[in-house]
Amino acid sequence: MSVSRLSPLSGLSRYLLIACTLLLSACASAPPPGITPVGGFDLQRYSGKWYEITRLDNRFERGLTDVSASYAAQADGSVQVINRGYDADAGRWKQAQGRALFNGDEHIGSLKVSFFGPFYGGYHVVALDPDYRWSMVAGNDRSYLWILARDKRLPDDVMARLLAQARQLGFDTDKLIPVKQTRSDG
């Protein structure tokens, strides 16, 4: 039995691999088809702490309660992102720090965020209270959705409007998970 040896990538192959990787990374941060991020976005007003009110389940937050996200503008134009949640099974807080960049115009609520090196996912503000008290955020496809608020609870009428808007945008709101916000040590 002979063993063939793989040859190293040629210059052109390497270039194509890098180009495809960059293209796929860029696509992963675009909003889902038919979804338009908000205009008139102001990062300074958006900065600070937000509580997660409800979300579509995802593996990196599965089982966490008391989830919050904090955003802070950085001197280089990026945004520091700190996500934090309580893991009751482990009896401890979990935290992830990431970096977000605008996908284009900084007055459009469309960013890409990375918690794992060069890999970015979409972060698209699709609804935003004029006073920046709540927001609805979509990922790069319709399997990611979060409703966030400055307080640990949203008024029922606001929640009903956001759920109706999410349904209209094609999200499966029956799969949303309400996030418990009961701890005072977070």
Residue 118 confidence (pLDDT): 86
This prediction has a pTM of: 0.84
Cβ neighbours of residue 93 closer than 8 Å, sequence gap 6 or more:
84, 85, 86, 87, 186
Tokens of 100: 């977000």
Task: Kindly report, residue by residue over 122-151, the tens digit of the pLDDT.
Answer: 999 999 999 999 999 999 999 999 999 999
Domain residue spans of the chain: 33-178
* CB burial string 36-61: b at 16+ within 10 A, e below: ebbeebebeebeeebbbbbbbeeeeb
| CATH superfamily, with its number, for domain 33-178 | Calycin beta-barrel core domain (2.40.128.20)
Question: What are the tens digits of pLDDT across the range 63-89?
Answer: 999 999 999 999 999 999 999 999 999
Q: Which amino acid is at 136?
A: M
